[in-house]
Amino acid sequence: MPHVTSVTSRPPHRLSYRASASLLLAAFIAGCAAPPPARTQTQPAPEAPRAAAPAPVAPVAPAADDARIQQDFERWVAQFRTQARAAGIDEATLHSAFDGASYLPQVVERDRSQAEFVRAVWDYLDTAVSPQRVTRGQERLQALRPQLDAVAARYGVPGEIVVAIWGMESNYGANYGDISTIDALATLGFEGRRAGWAREQLMAALKILQRGDIPRDRMIGSWAGAMGQTQFLPTVFLAHAVDADGDGRRDIWDSMADVTASTANFLQHSGWQAGQPWGVEVRLPPGFDLARADGQLRQSASQWTAEGVRAMDDATPLPALADASILLPAGARGPAFLVGPNFRTILRYNNATSYALGVGLLAQRLAGGPGVRADWPRDLQPLSRAETIALQQALNARGFGAGTADGLLGPATRDAIRRWQRSVGEPADGYPTVQLLQRLATP
């Protein structure tokens, strides 16, 4: 799930260049007497089935001393037990789940931390589709072929896609986390920043325990409550996990039959279209209006072909996608992709373009296909979170409505960048760069 990472150092000349841009921006924004009101920026989140949420429990502010925090946590757990009991959770499950439950300070630390620097999409894909991951994935694909063929026949999802998600989520089961799901979600529910969400997930986890799918000590995963080899949240598990091996339990930790079927079942219910590719790398014609590379602009592949969009080898027809968009994950200087409904279905698993692209490209390589052919603009540095906030503030100050200055590059920010680029006669690719930031900072 994580798509950001800390960067400990940058080339000195980049630091100097970026510092000057930031100083110019600060001066520019300070000189703006009354910036226009910003639109609210929204970024769609992956939809997940919602379990009935328990009545609110007031979050308790953690005390300074560890013993006091644990005491406050135990009182919160006692309150939650009462609500869980009223929601139909039996005493045996409550004892199993909460006797000896622990507050996990490292979970709170991870939840509150925000990485200052983000990885460029090409750096992310270098890891996501590394030669080692491709080789290992092809081995696993071969070993599980009969099982994956059965899953594909039942759910319409190719084995390569299922294995790619498995590889992305846990490196083929090698690393899916060792944190108690109950302790992690109870900690998040107590801590308060995402208390309502965490309580909902915790109640779902109790239902999983009560059903007997997994014992408490084996219900482990990430610090954020995602479980098993393909990292299902508890509410998603309740709605989509499958007992494919017929042992009476839905086990996404140790049963590969259940892991693969559950993943395919989720994708099918999220809109996967059997027989359709996720997308394809394409070549754009000269003079193509880059503002049309917008996920909200969808048309048939035949319409894109009529506009001059071609496959990379020019001879192969574009796949027959009905609602396809052009994607420029690195702006005008990077590769272009034609993506269809199945790409958007992968986004339902994890709502990050880099993730969905990683799944699609890894699946393509597992099937023996090529990697990305066009060059990535590796000389570009992605904006830091602080720089993105400054960029959003500058766009808002100039009247381009980037939305809330939160450091997140959502649709409203990219649309604002495109509108500014058009206003100054530049290709409107919506891609933020340090150079763009510096230009906005210049009065």
On the question of pLDDT at 26 being above 60, the answer is no
On the question of pLDDT at 241 being above 80, the answer is yes
pLDDT digits (tens, 9 = 90+) for 165-222: 999 999 999 999 999 999 999 999 999 789 999 999 999 999 999 999 999 999 999 9
Phi, psi of 299 (to 5 degrees): -155, 170
Distance CA 23, CA 19 (A): 6
Question: Amino acid identity of 168?
Answer: M
pLDDT of residue 117: 72
pLDDT of residue 25: 52
Across 103-117, 214-228, 282-296, least confident range: 103-117
Contact at 8 Å (CB) between 311 and 280? yes
The domain segmentation of the chain, as residue ranges, is 18-32+383-441
Which residues make Cβ contacts (< 8 Å) with residue 54, sequence separation at least 6?
80, 83, 84, 86, 87, 199, 200, 203
The residue ranking higher by pLDDT, 291 or 34, is 291
Which residues make Cβ contacts (< 8 Å) with residue 220, sequence separation at least 6?
176, 177, 178, 179, 180, 181, 227, 253
Distance, C-alpha 357 to centroid of its chain: 11
pLDDT digits (tens, 9 = 90+) for 242-287: 999 999 999 999 999 999 999 999 999 999 999 999 999 999 999 9
Distance, C-alpha 360 to centroid of its chain: 14
Is residue 62 very low, low, confident or very high in pLDDT (cuts 50, 70, 90)?
Answer: very low
On the question of pLDDT at 145 being above 80, the answer is yes
Contact at 8 Å (CB) between 353 and 83? no
Nearest CA to 251 out of 230, 225, 267 is that of 230
pLDDT digits (tens, 9 = 90+) for 371-401: 999 999 999 999 999 999 999 999 999 999 9
Kindly list the distances between the CA atom of residue 60 and the CA atoms of 73, 106, 179, 430, in Å, as whole numbers in the listed order: 8, 17, 22, 42
**Rounded average pLDDT over 120-129:** 97
Cβ neighbours around 423 below 10 Å, total: 12
pLDDT of residue 73: 96
